[in-house]
């Protein structure tokens, strides 16, 4: 089973490359952002709760995210693996996630970290907000998300580096070139096993 975590700050291209990866490797895409947007748009109890945090640029509490993630994974028993986009976001989430995956005998195979500088990301996200109408893509909320990312999520780089499953990919340039570089990292990991 191939389980990939796509890692990077908001706007790094995780969603874009997830779509391409699921097609190439026949995986199931699990995006906490997509699931939350679905819940928010449908005004479910989880969506209302999550929206209160997301609108402020804050992370949704771990217990809510983990419950949602486990429920989503349980829907797909016959897949070749998963691409996790936007999860985990904290060390605590990563530890609980690892425990769950070890219990299921399906650990994280590798983590791809998309490396993009903050000013480039701000431009991308503001443009995305204008094009898609996403109300959480304003400069004030974006800067708050980077602050939260740098404090709570960026430490995961060292967490996964210690496990020797972290692979960094330069995330500026043409989408196809970046995707090919991601695939090279995946293939090198697959060939080791």
Is 128 a residue of the active site?
yes
CA dihedral 176, 182, 183, 188 (to 10 degrees): 150
Indicate which residue of 80, 127, 134, 151 is catalytic: 134
For residues 104-110, average pLDDT:
90
**pLDDT per residue over 114-158, tens digit each?**
999 988 999 999 998 899 888 888 888 888 989 988 998 999 999
**Biggest alpha carbon–alpha carbon distance for the chain:** 45
For residues 77-88, average pLDDT:
88
pLDDT higher than threshold 80 for residue 59: no
- Paired tokens of 36: 């939350």
Highest mean pLDDT among 29-33, 53-57, 146-150: 146-150
Indicate which residue of 37, 128, 143, 161 is catalytic: 128
Indicate which residue of 14, 20, 96, 124 is catalytic: 14
Task: Give residue for tokens 């995330």.
Answer: 171
Residue 114 β-bridge partners = 169
Mean pLDDT of the chain: 89
| Spatial separation of the C-alpha atoms in residues 96 and 55, rounded to whole Å | 25
Is 161 a residue of the active site?
no
Task: Confirm if 154 and 146 have CB atoms less than 8 A apart.
Answer: no
For residues 35-56, average pLDDT:
84
For residues 3-28, average pLDDT:
92
Distance of CA 68 to the CA centre of its chain: 14
Is 14 a residue of the active site?
yes
CA dihedral 180, 183, 184, 185 (to 10 degrees): 130
pTM of the model: 0.82
- In CATH terms, the fold of domain 2-177 is Rossmann fold (3.40.50)
Please, which residues have CB within 8 angstroms of residue 45's CB and are 6 or more apart in sequence? none
Helix (H, G, I), strand (E, B) or coil at 84: strand
For residues 67-81, average pLDDT:
83
Task: Confirm if 29 and 83 have CB atoms less than 8 A apart.
Answer: yes
Is 24 a residue of the active site?
no
- Residue 193: the pLDDT is 67
Domain spans of the chain, in order of start: 2-177
Is 134 a residue of the active site?
yes
Task: Look at 163 and 1; give whichever has higher pLDDT.
Answer: 163
């Amino acid at each position: 089973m191939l389980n990939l975590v796509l890692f990077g700050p908001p706007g790094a291209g995780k969603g874009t490359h997830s779509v391409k990866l699921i097609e190439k490797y026949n995986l199931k895409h699990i995006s906490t952002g997509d699931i939350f947007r679905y819940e928010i748009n449908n005004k479910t109890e989880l969506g209302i709760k999550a929206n209160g945090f997301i609108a402020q640029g804050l992370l949704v509490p771990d217990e809510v995210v983990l419950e949602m993630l486990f429920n989503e994974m349980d829907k797909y028993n016959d897949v070749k693996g998963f691409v996790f986009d936007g999860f985990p976001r904290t060390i605590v989430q990563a530890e609980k996630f690892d425990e769950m995956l070890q219990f299921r005998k399906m650990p994280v195979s590798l983590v791809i970290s998309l490396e993009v500088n903050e000013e480039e990301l701000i431009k991308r996200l503001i443009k995305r907000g204008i094009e898609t109408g996403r109300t959480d893509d304003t400069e004030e909320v974006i800067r708050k998300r980077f602050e939260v990312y740098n404090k709570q999520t960026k430490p995961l780089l060292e967490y996964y580096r210690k496990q020797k499953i972290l692979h960094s990919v330069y995330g500026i340039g043409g989408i196809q070139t970046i995707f090919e570089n991601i695939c090279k990292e995946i293939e090198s990991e697959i060939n080791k096993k």
